[in-house]
């Protein structure tokens, strides 16, 4: 009786940031488990590797634009009549992303919070209202371990990398906002949860990778594939009694 518990057959999924490092794997996973997947991103040229998947199509989306979000949702509803699953995985940021805390310009701070956290808010708000009409749905927002714990800045020493101050504020906000939405829309059978990923390997400097790995109990950085199971769980009927949860996928980083 549990064989199809994780199935997403006959469900429609919208993945914002679906052409990003993690987003592409989420699209593949949802597709493999039977969902019709709308890949919502800003540049269709990044569809390489997804174009041959059945039941996957591209929708242009600029998550920093309220008009673009509205148009994307309207296009999905026109095509499929519903949205069962929303995965917010977009990662908008300004050109000065990565500046040290003392060098961050306030206008940049406001723009990053407004575009990233604000974009997630608009996508959730508008999709939840559609899900109310359908009788329910599942919303999954990507947060981060740095919305849960403070960064360890020692792992960035000797590299050009740092952890932007706005990132922690945004991802902490995503977690708190998701909990709010889970309570607000529970009566409408809409579940809202988070996935907080640890560091995902993306050709970072060797010194950073070594230090990060040494602090991680499972002894490695994450991969995009490591995030797929968490999303499938929260998207499917396997998690019908789970809402307001922040599912941490970090190899044990925050356990220490």
Domain residue ranges in the chain? 12-249
39 vs 132: CA distance, rounded Å: 22
Q: Residue 145's pLDDT is what?
A: 98
Q: Show the tokens assigned to 237.
A: 């009927």
Q: Residue 51's pLDDT is what?
A: 84
Q: Residue 177's pLDDT is what?
A: 98
56 vs 68: CA distance, rounded Å: 20
61: nearest Cα among 51, 46, 71, 52? 71
Residues of the chain with pLDDT under 70: none
Q: Domain 12-249: give its CATH code.
A: 3.40.50.720
Q: Show the tokens assigned to 47.
A: 């569809």
Q: Residue 116's pLDDT is what?
A: 98
> Do 75 and 59 contact (CB within 8 A), yes or no?
yes
108 vs 234: CA distance, rounded Å: 33
137: nearest Cα among 1, 3, 8, 4? 8
Q: Residue 56's pLDDT is what?
A: 95
**Catalytic one of 91, 146, 167, 212:** 167
Q: Residue 192's pLDDT is what?
A: 99
Our answer to whether residue 180 is catalytic in this structure is no
14: nearest Cα among 175, 131, 144, 113? 131
pLDDT digits (tens, 9 = 90+) for 159-179: 999 999 999 999 999 999 999
Q: Residue 139's pLDDT is what?
A: 99
Q: Show the tokens assigned to 143.
A: 């947060």
């Amino acid at each position: 009786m549990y064989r199809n518990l994780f199935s997403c057959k006959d469900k429609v999924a919208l993945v914002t940031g679906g052409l990003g490092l993690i987003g592409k794997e989420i699209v593949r996973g949802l597709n493999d488990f039977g969902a019709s997947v709308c890949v919502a991103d800003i540049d269709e040229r990044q569809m390489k590797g997804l174009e041959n998947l059945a039941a996957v199509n591209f929708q242009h989306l600029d998550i920093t634009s309220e008009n673009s979000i509205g148009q994307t949702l309207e296009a999905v509803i026109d095509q499929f009549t519903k949205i069962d699953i929303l995965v917010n995985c977009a990662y908008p940021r300004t050109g000065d992303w990565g500046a040290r805390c003392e060098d961050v310009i306030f206008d940049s701070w406001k723009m990053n919070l407004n575009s990233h956290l604000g974009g997630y808010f608009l996508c959730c708000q508008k999709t939840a209202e559609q899900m109310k009409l359908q009788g329910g749905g599942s919303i999954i927002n990507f947060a981060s371990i740095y919305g849960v714990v403070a960064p360890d800045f020692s792992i960035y020493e000797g590299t050009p990398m740092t952890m932007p101050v706005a990132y922690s504020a945004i991802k902490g906000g995503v977690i708190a906002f998701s909990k709010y939405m889970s309570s607000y829309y529970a009566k409408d059978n809409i579940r809202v949860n988070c996935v907080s990923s640890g560091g995902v390997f993306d050709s970072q400097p060797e010194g950073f990778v070594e230090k990060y790995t040494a602090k991680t109990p499972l002894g490695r950085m994450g991969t995009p594939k490591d995030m797929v199971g968490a999303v499938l769980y929260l998207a499917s009927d396997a998690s019908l009694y789970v809402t307001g949860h922040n599912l941490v996928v970090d190899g044990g980083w925050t356990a220490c």
